[in-house]
Amino acid sequence: MIGKKPAMGWNSWNTFGNNITEELLLQIADVMAEQGYKEAGYEYLVIDDCWALKERDMQGNLVPDPEKFPHGIKAVADYVHNRGLKFGIYSCAGILTCAGYPSSYDHEFQDARLFAEWGVDFLKYDFCNFPENADCVNRYHIMSMALKASGREILFSACNWGMHDSWNWMRSIGVHMYRSTGDIFDNYQSFMSIFQSQLEHLSQSGPYCYNDMDMLTVGMYNQGNVAIGKPCTDNEYKMQFSLWCLAGVPLILGADIRTLAPKMKELLLNKELIAIDQDEECRPPFVVSKRSVMVPVENREDAIEPLRRVKDKLFTFLKHVSGNEFIIAYYNLFEEEQEILCTFADAGIPYACGYGLAMKDIFTGEDLGVIRDYHRVSVSGHDCRLYRCRLVPCNGYRA
């Protein structure tokens, strides 16, 4: 059944924008099928905005751009299906899409039937050009009903950017995943602010309806449609991908996977990280601590105080996963290396309980043995450390 776990796939927007073609999608399908992405769980290939003509036909149907898709959308969907993948398409709840193409407002049931005829398995449904006097909740509910009446099982990916507190009602109207933020851009500040903005809402994400923190920019290196600001480092991309996995949200790739750097491909296919995202319990992470640090002021000679307190720059998370195991994750938002302390009592494991944690580094595979009472680790600037842990009864003192 669709939606039981966070969706995984690829979307055209981050890299290609309006430069999408039939040939491109067939090439992406081949890479997904042949280079390990499908086996890793990435199953949806989704075309975003700009696939249609600027006008509907005489029957009111959406029309694929014949220059971009000379064989039509159904032919692309059939090819994707033949490669063992699922096919997704884009529309919008407003009068026009974000790029100014015909949208599905007042055409919901007609468009849903057409998508089903084409073999669509996934609908991304945006929120641009929405009439001021229209009801947002009602319009998304109409499309939910239209998809269910279409005769085909279609994953409903609602994208209203968190407007009208969408985390409070998206599950109740039958949506499978919902965009809860503005658009992501390919820089550190963008993805980090998106994650932090959703910390208090991740508990409203779970089986059959997941909070969507937007498509990943991992491996783009400022090449493509969302290239704004300073390019990310490899460590920052590691932070982004692991944060999305830790949050248990959809993993929709946005980079050109045909030319992806080997290190980035290895990251996106990391079985340990994907297992965290796809864990059957689908629990959000628990914030163990958000620590402040005293740092020198920039103009120290003119300052009244030589140090200033910087808040919420060192994060420690604990995530419950299946099999009575846990993930402990450390994130350093400073540019310089920092030491981060996790006091186990803050994670529900006081010293007097008689248990410690057997810890294994997810990135290196190093077995740390059994740690008791606290764990202290150095983390490079804009980097992270993740450990898979299990409770172990122990006697005596800290290992």
Please identify every residue annotated as catalytic. Answer: 126, 183
Report yes or no: 215 and 184 within 8 Å, Cβ to Cβ: yes
Say how many C-beta atoms besides its own lie within 10 A of residue 141's C-beta: 18
Sign of CA dihedral 162, 61, 49, 43: positive
| Count of helix runs (H) and strand runs (E) in the chain | 10, 16
Q: What is the C-alpha separation between 26 and 260, in angstroms, rounded?
A: 17
**Cross-strand partners of 86:** 44
Residues 310, 295 contacting (CB under 8 angstroms): yes
Contacts of 62 (CB under 8 A, 6+ apart): 52, 56, 91, 102, 107, 111, 114
| CA–CA separation, 140 and 73 (whole Å) | 24
Rounded to whole angstroms, the Cα distance separating 115 from 111 reads 6
Structure tokens at 277: 């995202």
317 CB neighbour count, 10 Å cutoff: 24
* Dist. CA 232–CA 237, nearest whole Å: 6
Q: Are 223 and 261 in contact (CB under 8 A)?
A: no
How many angstroms separate the Cα of 152 from the Cα of each of 12, 103, 200?
A: 23, 20, 34
Q: How far apart are CA 2 and CA 47, in angstroms?
A: 19
- Yes or no: say if 254 and 13 are a contact pair by the CB < 8 Å rule: yes
